[in-house]
Amino acid sequence: MSAAQPIDHNRPPHESFPPDWSYEETVDKVEEIIEQVESGNLELSEIFDQFAIAVEYLHQCETFLSDKKQKMGLLVETLNDRPLEFEF
């Protein structure tokens, strides 16, 4: 398993992810780590290493979701700021 790609926290959230980053793939990686740890086949030092990687992945997911939630909030505000016109 490769190490987690760090997020550049000095850039705006929408620019901080590598271009090939995927929320779904990152969640899958966390689930793989959980399976490895639960298998009982890892040495204690490997468990700590994998835990650190999983934590970084979860931070990435949290940052991604927080950014998307903020964007959705802004979109909802723009809907509330202008009346909707319906044509029948």
16 phi and psi, to 5 degrees?
Answer: -90, -10
pTM, whole model, 2 decimals?
A: 0.70
Higher per-residue pLDDT: 15 or 44: 44
In this prediction, residues 42-51 reach a mean pLDDT of: 97
pLDDT digits (tens, 9 = 90+) for 32-41: 999 999 999 9
| CA separation, residue 27 to residues 38, 71, 73, 83 (Å) | 17, 21, 24, 39
pLDDT digits (tens, 9 = 90+) for 50-76: 999 999 999 999 999 999 999 999 888
Given a cut of 50, whether residue 12 has pLDDT beyond it is no
Collapsing DSSP to helix, strand or coil, 53 comes out as helix
Model pLDDT, residue 53 = 97
